[in-house]
Amino acid sequence: MRLNEWNKSTYSGASANCVETCLRAPAHPMVDLRDTQNREAGHLTFARREWVVLLSGARSQQH
């Protein structure tokens, strides 16, 4: 993942139904999240630690 740039998941393929993340530089340990189809609505910001916990929980729910 590139720092300070919006990134779409590789799992999304060509689909527009996804979210994008922006991992801020190490000096700012935050992750921004936005809806790909509604970028102008803004974004949510999470502490990097919260983001890691969210991803871990989502992965544990997969089969």
pLDDT at 30: 92
Question: 19 lies in a domain?
Answer: yes
Question: 26 lies in a domain?
Answer: yes
The answer for residues whose C-beta is within 8 angstroms of residue 22's C-beta and 6 or more apart is 4, 5, 6, 7, 31, 32, 33, 34, 43
| Residue 12 domain boundaries | 6-60
Q: What percent of the chain has pLDDT over 90?
A: 32
Question: 48 lies in a domain?
Answer: yes
Question: 22 lies in a domain?
Answer: yes
Question: Which of the pair, 17 or 18, is modelled with greater confidence?
Answer: 18
Question: 1 lies in a domain?
Answer: no
Residue 36 pLDDT level (bands cut at 50, 70, 90): confident
| Total number of domains constituting the chain | 1
